[in-house]
Amino acid sequence: MANLRWGVLSTAKIGRTKVIPAMQAADGSEVVAIGGRDPDRTRRVADELAIASAHASYDAVLADENVDAVYIPLPNHLHAEWTIRAADAGKHVLCEKPLALSADDARRMVDACADAGVVLEEAFMYRHHPSWEAAVELVRSGHIGDLVTVQSWFSYYNDDRANIRNILSAGGGALLDIGCYSVHLSRLLFGDEPERVTASVIRDPDSGVDVVTSGTLDFASGNASFTCSTRCEPDQRVHVYGTTGRISIEIPFNIPPDRPTRVLVTAGGTPPVAPDTETLTFAPADQYRIQAERFAAVVRGERDAPTARDTVANTEIIEQLFAAADDTRKPAERHSGDTSSS
C-alpha cells in the first residue's frame, strides 16, 4: 500500500529534531512537504531534512495535492485554526498537544475533521512507547491490585520572555505545555474521567503565564496529583500506586530513542528498606516513529481512530483546573503582592 504522504506546517524545533526524522524512518510514511512563514528558512530546513517541497505558506501545504496528512507543531493558539483549515482541505491531522486552548475550540476541531472524514489525533507520543504500554497493562491486569493513586511531576527551566512558552496570548505556561501530559496519563491509567478537580497556580507577575501549577483529579476509584513547572530544575517522574504494589516509570515523557528504558514494579518485600522490586527493561524505541506508523495505520483503516471524547476531554479538564485555581484565589486577592494565581 502507498505511503501516507505528510506535509508539515512550520519549521518548529520539535518537528525538525524529533518528529520529522521519525516520520521519515517510519514504515508507511514519507514527508513530502513543509511550509513556513520565512521562505529562505523553510527551504534550508527542507534541504537539511531532504524534503522535496518547501512552501512559502501553510496554505500552500494544504493546497499541495501530494499531501495526504499534515503534522501541526504550530504555537498553541494556532492549533484550532489550522486544524480546521486542514480538515476543510481534506487532510488528516496530527496536531501537537495541547490540542486547543479551550474545550469549545477542541470540539470545533473534532467536528470539522469528522465532517470532512479525516483523522484527527493529538500528539501524545509517550503513550505509544513500549514502556508505557507495559505500565498500562500492569495496571489493568491487576498486577498491583486496585489502582489507588497516581503521582506525576514534569518540570524544566525557561525564563526567556521571547519564548512562545512564556507568552500568555499564544497559550504559554506550564499546564498547557507539560501539565497536559499528567492530565492525559491520569485519565489513561484510570480509564475514566475525573469527577472533580482542584488546583493551585503560581503565575509570572510580568508575563502572566503559569510557572508552577499543581492539580488533583478525583476519580470514582482513586485520585491523581501532579505538579508541573517551567521555572524549576528539569525533572520528570510518574509513580503509580495500587493496593498491592506500585510502578515507577523511570523516564516517562522525553523517552530517549537510542537507549534502553526501565519500569520498576514493586510488590512485596519490606519497603522502603528492602522492597521486592522487579526491573522491566525495554529496548530502545522511538515513540515518535511508532506514533507516525500507528497514525498511518488508522488512516488505512487498520487501527481504530481516537474517540471524540478522548480528543476533547483533556482540554475540558485543563479548563477546569484553571477555573479551580481561580476559584481558590479569590479569598486571598486582598493580599497585595500575592502572585499565586490570576
pLDDT tens for 229-276 read: 999 999 999 999 999 999 999 999 999 999 999 999 999 888 888 889
Task: State residue 327's pLDDT score.
Answer: 59
The pLDDT score that the predictor gives to residue 56 is 96
- Separation between Cα atoms, residue 73 and residue 92, nearest integer Å: 14
Contact 201, 327 (CB under 8 A): no
Sheet containing strand 147-157, edge to edge, reads: 196-203, 210-218, 223-229, 147-157, 231-242, 246-249, 261-270, 274-282
CA gap 270, 62 in Å, rounded: 59
Backbone angles phi and psi of 204, in degrees to 5: -65, 130
Known catalytic membership, residue 97: yes
- Alpha carbon distances (Å) from 7 to 3, 30, 66, 101, 305: 13, 9, 9, 23, 20
Q: What is the pLDDT of residue 269?
A: 82
According to the model, what pLDDT value does residue 326 have? 78
Q: Which amino acid appears at position 138 of this protein?
A: L
pTM metric for this prediction:
0.93
- Phi and psi at residue 108, to the nearest 5°: -65, -40
Measured between alpha carbons, how far is 237 from 229 in angstroms, rounded to an integer?
A: 13
Of the candidates 75, 62, 13, 76, the one whose C-alpha atom is nearest the C-alpha of residue 33 is 62
Q: Which of 13, 18, 97, 330 is catalytic?
A: 97
Within the chain, how many helices (H) and strands (E) appear? 11, 14
Q: What is the pLDDT, as a whole number, of residue 237?
A: 97
Q: Is residue 46 within 8 Å of 109, Cβ to Cβ?
A: no
What's residue 272's pLDDT?
Answer: 83
Element (H, E) at 324: helix 308-329
Low-confidence stretches of the chain (pLDDT beneath 70): 1, 327-342
Distance CA(277)–CA(292), nearest Å, equals 34
pLDDT tens column, 148-175: 999 999 999 999 999 999 999 999 999 9
- Find where cell 486496585 sits: 146
Q: What is the pLDDT of residue 309?
A: 86
**pLDDT score, position 26:** 98
**CA 299 to chain CA centroid, nearest Å:** 20
Q: According to the model, what pLDDT value does residue 271 have?
A: 82
